[in-house]
Amino acid sequence: MPSKDYSYDIPDHPIEFKRVDPRTIKFDPRAQRNLNKARARAIAEKLVPTALGTPILSQREDGQYAVDGMHRVYACQFILSGEVSASKKVREAVESIACEVHYDLSMANEASLFIIKNKESSKVGPNDEFRIGVMAGHPLFMDTNTVLEKHQLKVGSSSANGVRGIKGILSIVTEYGPETLDLSLTIAEDAWGRTPDTWHSVTIGGIATVMSKHADEVKPKELAQKLKRQGDPKSFKAKIQTIATNNNTRTDGTKGRLKAAHLAVASAWNANRTNSKRIPVPNIFE
């Protein structure tokens, strides 16, 4: 288990609820998603002030920055600038808006706050979450990005240098540490070369699980050769899916696929070994 703290904890800090002129609110994409002006304009055109909610701001030395509710704030700015027409009643209603203002936060804290506020919704995709975490300097995302950059991999790309399933990759770092991710990516590349399927997070997760549980028994170079004999990475990924679904007779979830990947990688290592030299395989249907 990694000793580093990868939680989204935010230190105790002052919070104030007050009305703020939306024209004074700034935006910083390093601590949240990129601004989509078309989306903000669409909000502005149908804005109902009483349904505006409470945007979350962070008070920095140079002003107040939107952490959550950026598009709603920008919609108000559109109305107040005259770029989007609105009734006098609406214009007056958005001249000051109720906000939740946080003080004494670092940019990494702001990113954590944004991710926490949006994590249970479908508002933020995992690739955006990763980008925000890296830009804001959150340790989990920074450590993960350092490993990915070492392997010349990019999040969100569908090329041979693109990572598929960044949430799964982050889970590896959270559970086993960046060193295990580094080793697992090396084993995968040694086995299959650089292809889009080499970097699939479930496959990498299976390798990481085996290496973290059996580091003293499993030799990385030998495991890579064993995996290579299983076929190409696409075929190996399909094998994991078949195991997870019990040959398509049951549904699978993320935990099921990871157990199946653990079993597939462990079974590859155990091939042609005597019982005394085999490593345990999980019962994925427990």
CA pair distance 180, 2, nearest whole angstrom: 10
Domain 15-118 has CATH 1.10.3470: no
How many Å apart are CA 106 and CA 154, to the nearest integer?
Answer: 26
Backbone phi and psi for residue 60, each to the nearest 5 degrees, phi listed first:
-105, 175
pLDDT digits (tens, 9 = 90+) for 41-98: 999 999 999 889 999 999 999 999 998 899 999 999 999 999 999 999 999 999 999 9
Share of the chain above pLDDT 70, in %: 93
How far apart (Å, rounded) are the C-alpha atoms in residues 174 and 212?
12
Closest to 40 in 3D by CA, of 87, 85, 74, 91: 74
Nearest CA to 133 out of 173, 160, 99 is that of 173
Residue 161 DSSP label: T
* Domain spans in the chain, listed from the N-terminal domain onward: 15-118, 138-277
- Name the band, by pLDDT with cuts 50, 70 and 90, for residue 123: low
Going from the C-alpha of 70 to that of each of 99, 111, 130, 132, the distances in angstroms are 11, 13, 18, 14
Percentage, residues of the chain above pLDDT 90: 65
d(CA 283, CA 280): 10
CA distance 201 to 159: 15
* Residue whose token pair is 């696409």: 234
Ranges 133-137, 185-189, 193-197, 223-227: which has the least confidence: 133-137
Of the listed ranges 80-94, 105-119, 169-183, the one predicted with least confidence: 105-119
